[in-house]
Amino acid sequence: MLERHGSSIGQPLTRRDGPDKVTGAARYAADVHPEGLLHAVMAVSTIARGRVAHLDLAAAQAHPGVVAVMTPENAPRLARSPDEKEGPVSFRLDLLQNDGVRYASQPIAVVIAETLEAATEGALLLNPRYEAETPSVVLGAGERFTPQMVGAGLPAAMGSGDLEAGLAAAEARIEATYDTAAQYHNALEPHASVAEWDGDRLTLHTPTQGLYPAKARLAALFGLPPENIRIHSPYLGGGFGSKGFLSSPQILGVMAAKLVGRPVKLVTRREQMFGPVGHRASTRQTLRLGAKRDGVLTGYGHHTLTLTSTYDDFFEPASVLSRHLYACPAIATNHEASRADIPTPLFMRAPGEAPGSVALESALDELALELGIDPLELRLRNYAEVEPLSGRPFSSKALRECYAQGAERFGWASRPLEPRQMRDADGLLVGWGLGTATYPAGMFQGEARATIRADGTALVETAAQDMGQGPWTVLAQIAADGLGLPLDRLDLRIGDSDMPNGGLAGGSTATATTGTAVHNAAQGAVAALAALATNDPASPLYGAGNAGVTAAEGRLSRRDDPSRSETFSEILARAGRDSVEAKGQGAGEPASRKAYAMHAHGAVYAEVKVDPDLGQIRVTRLVGAFAAGRVVNPRLVRSQYYGGMIWGVSLALHEHATLDARSGRVMNNNLAEYHVPVNADIPSVEAILVEEHDPHVNPLGIKGVGEIGITGTAGAIANAVWHATGVRVREIPITLDRLLG
Amino acid sequence: MNRFDYVRAGSVAEAIAAGAEPGAAYLAAGTNLVDLMKGGIARPERIVDITRLPDLDRIERLPDGATRIGALVRNSDLAHDPDFARSYPAVAEALLAGASAQLRNAATAAGNVLQRTRCQYFYDVASACNKRAPGSGCEAIGGVTRAHAVLGWSAHCIATNPSDFAVPLAALDAVVEIEGSAGRREVALEAFHRLPGDAPERETALEAGELVVALRLPPEAAGFAAHARYLKVRERTSYAFALVSAAVALRMEGSRIAEARIALGGVALKPWRCREAEAALADREATPEAFRATAEAALAGAEPSGDNAFKIELARRIVVRGLTLARAGTPERVPALPASPFAGAHHA
Amino acid sequence: MSIPITLTVNGIPRTVALEDPRVTLLDLLRERLDLTGSKKGCDRGQCGACTVLLDGRRVNACLALAVSHDGAHVTTIEGLARDGELHPVQAAFIAHDGFQCGFCTPGQIVSAVGLIQEGQAGDDPERIREGMSGNLCRCGAYAGITEAVATAHAAMAGASGLPGGYLREDAA
């Protein structure tokens, strides 16, 4: 039943969670204070490889207020080794089961105390001694190998045609290597746990992008049935992938609570966020492009070299987007990696696509320069009408409209082809650049329950997670339409693992997946209500059949005679029921997912200004035009695009974890020197929502919008810096010293 | 953070007596000290809270035309004091280019001048650092050195001083007023911060227990008000430490420079006053060629201490730009983006 | 040794016996007074999530030792709305979607109230951006934040006749 009855979807509603968030009433994990709470603080390693030889337990324990020190000696034994993977997309954890150290900032002990101050000082007093080995942390230093798979189970190598022949047939060629830096998610909310055990039952407040996987992992580690574990995660203070899976610090908080038999709060310190909670690995990407004089590609190769840890596998899939984006008869995409004494990298907003896009879009502009063709024209000449490698049609693709609407708004047509042609009134160099944005329109699996109650209200529950993308609002909009109820009669509850599985808030899938589940649950509840009415001779709807009624404003009406209707309350009252409920599933439909390539697309135009002498860069204007299927809430979707685009600014110009190659430590492990953009870095950002109807992606026609904004943007900025200065910088982030000449 | 005794001083004499005890540290806003204590870099046994000391939160114009800035005057109050900003616009601009509004609202004038280096190896207690642990070595050398010194560094320390405020103060011949058990003394700001030499742990001219009570700008400092700028190059538009900065102040007579003052930030362990370069510019026409020659002179003797050779050329260019902007004249109001290349001044 | 201090928090005098002088104003609010609206993002004055008004001025509560501020007036995010009515800055943040995850939001809003009271930025977007740059937003809601501050500034100027009239009574 595809029909929608209401008009909530598509409205630019303000956030339903807004009042709680602007008044400080929204409780994040670390804001929870059960009676008898103790505070826990981790000690982390300062070496990157070796073992902990000694901890000064006596000094820590002697500190007033310290209750216990959890080390490998006394840490609760686990039912399952934290090195045992629960599946291919599951990561090894550091849970004090041995004294080994495999990266800098690895947890090596936890100090539990009556106060935060005592726990903090206790952790410092442990003063560890190590048996250290020489670490290797530099990209390209270790032995190279080809991974089994990259990202979340994608082939490391894919291609079509003969790249070498394609390049040989080209009339213009470029080969260029781009480096991208290691990045740390740095959600503003540090990973936190407030854990409370009651016998073998656990209540845990912790931010997670996946309540069900988190529950499953804890169940496995502690040898408990999943129903013994309840996780609350109503609000995440940002996730960006780093809260996709429970991290070691979050689980150490649970172990600490078990050790001391009291509720424990463990909050990761900011500097400890540069280690055990994931990061994006550095990459070195080589792009080889060949084209005819008219700009039509004859071959293109995208090779990625990346790093992973010594003890686990995650490979930044930076070459993958080249499989989906531009038409070309000969494409080769592949990945190699080497191991290093670093923490295992992880999914980070647009994993693969983000660094891949900046390299690919830079390379295209280098080719455009070689050919003397406008960068937009070059992209249009290689527009993919079908997905290049698979040959499948796109379920929908309004990229041409994105290019056109963005170009119009930005004023691209007046861009000079040559670099260093534009200055502003103050003499600053001005440059314009373009990048294509793309991100897969994936779906995971989710479930929701809708209950229509006798008082004419409805309850919708799903263990979805709010990390700012807006589920409190958009799921309510979807539910309201599905139920035919005004929003103010809808009680939406999310963020509790006792609710039906709400899927993952990750991979730009949440609204598509959970929204579909909510839609189906709502429709199911309405169908159950309709069955009560249409089978009841006393109802004005009697005999209409389910398909013969529609729900709106809390009433069911006959489709053929809207004057014959009754309220939800009337139907339930006559049936003597408190409520009707239904569950709904959300998942991709296998046949259409096989038949169609499903991606969101966009075009991002950037203006930068560069001081001609001092090299300092500012992104003065960003215009993105994106097509991602149905827009549930334009206000919130626009914010997602802005956020992604600002991450693009950050990728292009700012974020860079600087490792000391000798120690393996991140030296700028703080927010003063690990730069993310501040407000003054973002003078102007615009997002155009390009209309796109997708009949295949899911019943609601929704594609994800959380990650696509980074892609395109970073490349657009790199290209704009070149256009401003004439200097092509291939080390990302672009820093001013490269522009001093 | 270690446990400590907390003493609230009611008078300067009381503060000095308490501050002279071994392991004591003065606390004003705490924006630097508390940060260092949280990182385990500073572990004072006794905190002497000087925030209630009387009369140290005043900005006074003295009869001779000098201006005395009480040690406890908040950075933002000083920057937004209309008389002060009019007389010392480069100082106001430097203050507003530093840190964030929240930090400027808390941090004091003396605390700003006394803030310690942001060298990441000083902050990383697992690294050897002669400043934090004398004799342990300097692990910054050979490490991540992009932000480190290019002037005045030694084999024992390559850190830089992070203060913006201190840079125009150095250029304007500010004086540090100090109280100690032996009474009051004064030290020129230029001599207040020490270069590392072989004792980088000795950071300033302060002796144990001594307290900075005021900073003083001499009468002639206001004579540069019409042509004074601070310029700061950093890696984001705001809320970042300087890679390199410059305070430039000129006293113009027609198109000729009567007197020039130039100091650099981000290049050394102290605000770097460029006296020889200033002298070469005195009584000369303000031409681009003269500015370029001045910049060369200002960086004479500069050497990279690691992967930071670019800072030498960057500093030269900032000197040229600073001179150009100062010659053009002080803006009516501190720009929306203080000290930024994007502040909107014409330099085409 | 216990040190008694009294703070006026959101207009209410609160006396606390500090058993430990290490307690920061932020940890006092969050862990001892159950005012968890102020957030800890970095604990080192580098993110702005803990911004409160201390004697009427916006500061980072994480770097202020509570013991040093005996007698001070503190306004936190919980103290802005009056009788259930949102402060104009809070309302403007909702209207302009000046947040996503909401974690930095209390600090952003208190910082914006402080900025407007300081009277230095007015409705100049560039001055607002600069003035709000001590508050990181990792979700990237800066555009909405800047609009919200400009809107609230206009609303407050209209309401009180002078920018920043609101909350003056909280300043010591």
% pLDDT > 70, chain A: 99
Rounded to 10°, the helix C142-160/A634-653 angle is 120
Q: Which amino acid is at A392?
A: R
What pLDDT, on a 0 to 100 scale, did the predictor assign at position A87? 83
B-chain residues near A679 (CB < 8 A): 238
pLDDT average, residue stretch B83-106: 98
Q: Work out the pLDDT band at B344, boundaries 50, 70, 90.
A: confident
In Å, what is the CA distance from B134 to each residue of B122, B137, B157?
11, 8, 11
- What's the CATH code of the domain at B27? 3.30.43.10
Given a cut of 80, whether residue A341 has pLDDT beyond it is yes
A-chain residues near B121 (CB < 8 A): 667
User: Distance between CA atoms of B261 and B274, rounded to whole angstroms?
Assistant: 8
Q: Work out the pLDDT band at A443, boundaries 50, 70, 90.
A: very high
B-chain residues near C55 (CB < 8 A): none
Topology match between the domains A34-134+191-267 and A154-170+280-442+594-739: yes
Given a cut of 70, whether residue A4 has pLDDT beyond it is no
Query: What's the gap in Å between the CA of A367 and the closest CA on chain B?
Result: 29
What pLDDT, on a 0 to 100 scale, did the predictor assign at position B78? 98
Fill in the DSSP letter of residue C38. S
Given a cut of 80, whether residue C171 has pLDDT beyond it is no
Strands (E), B142-243: 175-180, 183-188, 211-217, 228-233
Q: Work out the pLDDT band at A682, boundaries 50, 70, 90.
A: very high
A387 catalytic residue (yes or no): no
- The answer to whether residues C6 and C15 touch, using CB atoms and an 8 Å cutoff, is yes
Quick check: is B262 in a domain?
yes
Q: Work out the pLDDT band at A86, boundaries 50, 70, 90.
A: confident
Q: What does residue B121 show for φ and ψ, rounded to 5 degrees?
A: -85, -25
Fill in the DSSP letter of residue C66. G
CB of A197 within 8 Å of a chain C CB? The answer is no
User: Distance between CA atoms of A567 and A484, rounded to whole angstroms?
Assistant: 11
Structure token digits, residue A675? 């730069």
CB of B338 within 8 Å of a chain C CB? The answer is yes
Q: Catalytic one among A353, A366, A570, A707?
A: A707
Class of domain A34-134+191-267: alpha beta
- The answer to whether residues A669 and A271 touch, using CB atoms and an 8 Å cutoff, is yes
**For the segment A359-411, what is each residue's pLDDT rounded down to a tens digit?**
999 999 999 999 999 999 999 999 999 999 999 999 999 999 999 999 999 99
User: Distance between CA atoms of A307 and A336, rounded to whole angstroms?
Assistant: 9
Tell me the β-bridge partners of A284.
Answer: A179, A305
User: Distance between CA atoms of A206 and A266, rounded to whole angstroms?
Assistant: 10
CB of B312 within 8 Å of a chain A CB? The answer is no
Average pLDDT, chain A: 97
Place of tokens 């500190």: A63
CB of A186 within 8 Å of a chain C CB? The answer is yes
**For the segment B35-44, what is each residue's pLDDT rounded down to a tens digit?**
999 999 999 9
Given a cut of 70, whether residue A735 has pLDDT beyond it is yes
A-chain residues near C144 (CB < 8 A): 639, 642
Closest by alpha carbon to B327, among B267, B277, B262, B274?
A: B262
Place of tokens 């700008």: B217
Strands (E), A316-389: 331-340
- The answer to whether residues C54 and C25 touch, using CB atoms and an 8 Å cutoff, is yes
Q: Work out the pLDDT band at C172, boundaries 50, 70, 90.
A: very low
Tell me the β-bridge partners of A566.
Answer: A556
What pLDDT, on a 0 to 100 scale, did the predictor assign at position C167? 44
**For the segment C27-43, what is each residue's pLDDT rounded down to a tens digit?**
999 999 999 999 999 99
Q: Work out the pLDDT band at A294, boundaries 50, 70, 90.
A: very high
Domain ranges of chain A: 18-25+443-587, 34-134+191-267, 154-170+280-442+594-739
What pLDDT, on a 0 to 100 scale, did the predictor assign at position C160? 53
User: Distance between CA atoms of B292 and A310, rounded to whole angstroms?
Assistant: 52
Given a cut of 70, whether residue A3 has pLDDT beyond it is no
What is residue A617's three-state secondary structure?
strand
Given a cut of 90, whether residue A97 has pLDDT beyond it is yes
CATH number of A154-170+280-442+594-739: 3.30.365.10
What pLDDT, on a 0 to 100 scale, did the predictor assign at position C162? 41
pLDDT average, residue stretch A53-68: 98
Q: Work out the pLDDT band at B345, boundaries 50, 70, 90.
A: low
Average pLDDT, chain C: 92
- The answer to whether residues B102 and C111 touch, using CB atoms and an 8 Å cutoff, is yes
**For the segment A505-515, what is each residue's pLDDT rounded down to a tens digit?**
999 999 999 99
User: Distance between CA atoms of A497 and A670, rounded to whole angstroms?
Assistant: 33
The tally of domains found in chain B comes to 2
In Å, what is the CA distance from B7 to each residue of B28, B30, B52, B130?
12, 14, 11, 30
**For the segment A612-659, what is each residue's pLDDT rounded down to a tens digit?**
999 999 999 999 999 999 999 999 999 999 999 999 999 999 999 999
Structure token digits, residue A378? 């070059």
In Å, what is the CA distance from C13 to each residue of C4, C6, C29, C172?
13, 7, 13, 13
**For the segment A486-545, what is each residue's pLDDT rounded down to a tens digit?**
999 999 999 999 999 999 999 999 999 999 999 999 999 999 999 999 999 999 999 998
What pLDDT, on a 0 to 100 scale, did the predictor assign at position A100? 98
Given a cut of 50, whether residue A594 has pLDDT beyond it is yes
Partner-chain contact B106 C57, CB within 8 Å: yes
What is residue A166's three-state secondary structure?
helix
pLDDT average, residue stretch B168-189: 97
Q: Which of C99, C103, C146 would you mutate first to test chain A, the one with the most A CBs within 10 A?
A: C103
Closest by alpha carbon to A615, among B177, B302, B105, B235?
A: B235
- The answer to whether residues A511 and A469 touch, using CB atoms and an 8 Å cutoff, is yes
- The answer to whether residues C36 and C19 touch, using CB atoms and an 8 Å cutoff, is no
Mark out the alpha helices in A654-706 (DSSP H runs).
none
Q: Work out the pLDDT band at B347, boundaries 50, 70, 90.
A: very low
B-chain residues near C124 (CB < 8 A): 336
- Give the strand pairing for B24-27 and B46-49: parallel
Question: Residue B117: exposed, middle, or buried by beta-carbon count in 10 A (0-12, 13-18, 19+)?
Answer: buried
Quick check: is B157 in a domain?
no
CB of A27 within 8 Å of a chain C CB? The answer is yes
Given a cut of 90, whether residue B9 has pLDDT beyond it is yes
pLDDT average, residue stretch B124-131: 98
In Å, what is the CA distance from C120 to each residue of B229, C116, C125, C130, C153?
20, 7, 12, 11, 11
- The domains found in chain C, sorted by start residue, are 3-79 (3.10.20.30), 88-170 (1.10.150.120)
What pLDDT, on a 0 to 100 scale, did the predictor assign at position A741? 84
User: Distance between CA atoms of A467 and A584, rounded to whole angstroms?
Assistant: 23
Given a cut of 90, whether residue A5 has pLDDT beyond it is no
What pLDDT, on a 0 to 100 scale, did the predictor assign at position A7? 83
Q: Within 10 A of B46 (CB to CB), how many other CB atoms are there? A: 15
Which architecture does CATH list for A18-25+443-587? 2-Layer Sandwich (3.30)
Residue B29 belongs to what domain range?
5-52
Given a cut of 60, whether residue C100 has pLDDT beyond it is yes
Q: Which amino acid is at B39?
A: G
Query: What's the gap in Å between the CA of B314 and the closest CA on chain A?
Result: 6
User: Distance between CA atoms of A732 and B9, rounded to whole angstroms?
Assistant: 51
Quick check: is B57 in a domain?
no
Given a cut of 70, whether residue C17 has pLDDT beyond it is yes
Given a cut of 50, whether residue C169 has pLDDT beyond it is no
Q: Give the one of C22, C94, C126 whose C-beta lies nearest to A14's C-beta.
A: C94
Q: Give the one of B126, B243, B346 whose C-beta lies nearest to A46's C-beta.
A: B126
Structure token digits, residue A693? 């109807």
Asked, as a colleague might, if the bond just before B331 is cis with ω within 30 of 0, I would say no
CB of A675 within 8 Å of a chain C CB? The answer is no
pLDDT average, residue stretch B328-332: 95
Quick check: is B280 in a domain?
yes
CB of B40 within 8 Å of a chain C CB? The answer is no
